[in-house]
Chains A and B, each alone.
Chain A
């Protein structure tokens, strides 16, 4: 304040105060229940749901994490979930990228009908498709197998992925690609070098969506993986802390905390790509 040089930053900070206050409020509202989940995972069981709820646990323990990690098949569930989820997301991205490109950049008969079908596919009543899908898998010998789950998760995320990617591709000026083509790139090469980096935010949004959807799915995993305990996925693990005496909430919350981490990690990893993509693509300019 005393020196003239420091005044502009202060004034800017003051001007940005409402904005930052709003951001802080958003973070607090978002994170309070998450905070409650995480601290519950660190509370001794007798302090969970006490008559005198406290913001900060009075005692800390790693016991619940020990129980959660020590559950039967822990490593196996992680492997299965990662495998199924990542394959489904990659498959959906690949298939959707082709379809979205065709819709956004090419003119062909049936394009409008295709788009409409994709939109309608988002309304699919998956909760009542489970019985037909069960019957079909049973009759084709696909029960108890992880690829079945992969295909279902692929299909659940595909329509959304197509629609969002199409929106993003349509937003990229074709002139950019044409310029690259003039410079001697093939059409695919032009797309990869020019449009792909610009797609980064869209790819991030869709892959995150696909990841979280498939990662959390319980009903199909429970219904289609029957006898092969080795093929069960993580959501089944989350429900393994229930017994006849009620649920071990400490362990459940510890498991939920560990369960939510991969999505955050994936986001942080993609986030860097998004900013990098924006910088190199020069969209803003």
Chain B
């Protein structure tokens, strides 16, 4: 094991953290203006297209802003009323808890499956690899509404092939079984759908990262007698870690914001079984087009999400500091 480390770490460090001087001389050789010129378009874009609308959304969350105010203008400030309304709703905290469970289940499933798929794809032959990648892309490209509808059909109580198959296999109790009438089953189907839709992106991105890992690292590790699991832990994973963490954080964000699938499939039901924050926000905001409440709910969602990701951000910030 120690040999593996000795062999891989210096190379690893050499690749990801180039000698400081190299970065230095390059950056300074052109004067200090260059980096600012290069990021200027991105910064300007973010300021005008993101920060400015976001500031106005925050403003709306402190106002009494409904359809009337959207059409006629003149919104009044109401201070923290919208936030008080949301936080004072006992249902809200139940929804928050459910959102975290939903996110955790989805993210773990997505990351495990997509890592396995990415590792597998890398080892495949050329043709098989293209087939696997193409089918992943196809899944990713299927419009959400079509995918959601197909899943609804598969699990339909009278017309679905799942019930048909289960009944055919001898599970008579699934004859006409209403999946979407039972909280647990509906929750499970939504999770399956979201995992199915999310794995392609994660797997393709992880695969893109994997192919940049030099093959010789594996060989030397294997020559040192490391098993597959050990090679993954001490060679592969450290190298793809930045991309892995990135995908992980993106999946956290995206499952936190999953909406269309749930809305089309169950509208948050049965009961409250599949009501997570975005669904709750739309249900609340829809009452009389309450854009103010919807805005406040979004801000709370962003805050909660940041809570999950703050550790990641801190680590990222530190890491950036270490790099040239």
A and B touch in the complex (CB under 8 A): yes
Residues of A in contact with B (beta carbons under 8 Å apart): 19-20, 22-23, 26-27, 29-31, 33-34, 36-37, 40, 49-53, 55, 95-96, 98-99, 101-103, 105-108, 111-112, 114-125, 127-129, 131-133, 135-136, 151-152, 154-155, 158-160, 162-164, 167-168, 170-171, 173-175, 178, 187, 198, 201-202, 204-205, 208-209, 212, 215-216, 235, 238-239, 249, 252-253, 256, 259-264, 267-268, 271, 274, 278, 283-285
Taking a contact as CB atoms under 8 Å apart, the answer to whether B212 and A168 are in contact is: yes
Q: Which single residue of chain B is at the shortest CB-CB distance from A22? A: B120
B295 at the interface (CB under 8 A from A): yes
Q: Which of B37, B205, B278 has a CB less than 8 Å from the CB of A127?
A: B278
Measured between C-beta atoms, what is the minimum distance from A280 to chain B in Å?
Answer: 14
Question: With the chains together, A114 CA to B50 CA distance in Å?
Answer: 14
Taking a contact as CB atoms under 8 Å apart, the answer to whether B242 and A167 are in contact is: yes
Tell me which residues across on chain B come within 8 A of A120, comparing CB atoms: 306, 313
Taking a contact as CB atoms under 8 Å apart, the answer to whether A171 and B316 are in contact is: no
Tell me which residues across on chain A come within 8 A of B27, comparing CB atoms: 105-108
The prevalent SS among residues of B at the interface is helix
B174 at the interface (CB under 8 A from A): no
Taking a contact as CB atoms under 8 Å apart, the answer to whether B246 and A155 are in contact is: no
Interface pick from B101-109, B125-133, B181-189, B266-274: B125-133
Tell me which residues across on chain A come within 8 A of B317, comparing CB atoms: 112, 115-116
Measured between C-beta atoms, what is the minimum distance from A145 to chain B in Å?
Answer: 15
Question: If the complex has contacts A30-B135, A158-B42, A260-B141, are A167 and B246 also in contact, measured as CB distance less than 8 A?
Answer: yes
B257 at the interface (CB under 8 A from A): yes
Taking a contact as CB atoms under 8 Å apart, the answer to whether B139 and A34 are in contact is: yes
Measured between C-beta atoms, what is the minimum distance from A25 to chain B in Å?
Answer: 10
Q: Which single residue of chain B is at the shortest CB-CB distance from A161? A: B42
Interface residues on B, range: 35 or more
Taking a contact as CB atoms under 8 Å apart, the answer to whether B24 and A107 are in contact is: yes
Taking a contact as CB atoms under 8 Å apart, the answer to whether B215 and A284 are in contact is: yes
Taking a contact as CB atoms under 8 Å apart, the answer to whether A129 and B54 are in contact is: yes
Taking a contact as CB atoms under 8 Å apart, the answer to whether B42 and A95 are in contact is: yes
Tell me which residues across on chain B come within 8 A of A284, comparing CB atoms: 214-216
Tell me which residues across on chain A come within 8 A of B156, comparing CB atoms: 49
Tell me which residues across on chain A come within 8 A of B136, comparing CB atoms: 30
Tell me which residues across on chain A come within 8 A of B42, comparing CB atoms: 95-96, 98-99, 118, 158, 162
Question: If the complex has contacts A167-B243, A173-B15, are A268 and B23 also in contact, measured as CB distance less than 8 A?
Answer: no
Number of CB contacts from chain A to chain B under 8 A: 284
Which residue, A23, A37, A163, A263, has most C-beta atoms of chain B within 10 A? Answer: A23
Interface pick from B1-9, B88-96, B146-154: B146-154
Taking a contact as CB atoms under 8 Å apart, the answer to whether B205 and A205 are in contact is: yes
Q: Which single residue of chain A is at the shortest CB-CB distance from B140? A: A212
Taking a contact as CB atoms under 8 Å apart, the answer to whether B160 and A53 are in contact is: yes
B46 at the interface (CB under 8 A from A): yes
Tell me which residues across on chain B come within 8 A of A209, comparing CB atoms: 201, 205
Q: Which single residue of chain B is at the shortest CB-CB distance from A261? A: B141
Q: Which single residue of chain B is at the shortest CB-CB distance from A98? A: B38
Question: If the complex has contacts A49-B156, A99-B39, A119-B316, are A278 and B53 also in contact, measured as CB distance less than 8 A?
Answer: no
Question: If the complex has contacts A99-B39, A131-B70, are A51 and B159 also in contact, measured as CB distance less than 8 A?
Answer: yes
Taking a contact as CB atoms under 8 Å apart, the answer to whether B26 and A174 are in contact is: yes
Measured between C-beta atoms, what is the minimum distance from B302 to chain A in Å?
Answer: 6
Question: With the chains together, A50 CA to B185 CA distance in Å?
Answer: 23
Measured between C-beta atoms, what is the minimum distance from B65 to chain A in Å?
Answer: 8
Measured between C-beta atoms, what is the minimum distance from A42 to chain B in Å?
Answer: 14
Question: With the chains together, A98 CA to B305 CA distance in Å?
Answer: 29
B250 at the interface (CB under 8 A from A): yes
Taking a contact as CB atoms under 8 Å apart, the answer to whether A101 and B38 are in contact is: yes
Question: With the chains together, A151 CA to B201 CA distance in Å?
Answer: 23
Taking a contact as CB atoms under 8 Å apart, the answer to whether B159 and A50 are in contact is: yes
Question: With the chains together, A209 CA to B295 CA distance in Å?
Answer: 27
B223 at the interface (CB under 8 A from A): no
B288 at the interface (CB under 8 A from A): no
17 pairs across A/B with beta carbons < 8 Å? A23-B124, A31-B135, A34-B142, A98-B42, A102-B36, A102-B38, A119-B316, A123-B306, A124-B54, A125-B301, A135-B70, A174-B23, A198-B212, A212-B140, A216-B143, A260-B141, A267-B137
Q: Which single residue of chain A is at the shortest CB-CB distance from B250? A: A122
Measured between C-beta atoms, what is the minimum distance from B259 to chain A in Å?
Answer: 7
Taking a contact as CB atoms under 8 Å apart, the answer to whether B320 and A129 are in contact is: no
Taking a contact as CB atoms under 8 Å apart, the answer to whether A128 and B298 are in contact is: yes
Question: If the complex has contacts A128-B295, A167-B209, are A151 and B38 also in contact, measured as CB distance less than 8 A?
Answer: no
Taking a contact as CB atoms under 8 Å apart, the answer to whether A37 and B142 are in contact is: yes
Taking a contact as CB atoms under 8 Å apart, the answer to whether B38 and A99 are in contact is: yes
Q: What mask results when residues 8 to 39 of chain B are scored 1 for a CB within 8 Å of chain A, else 0? A: 00000011101000111011011010111111
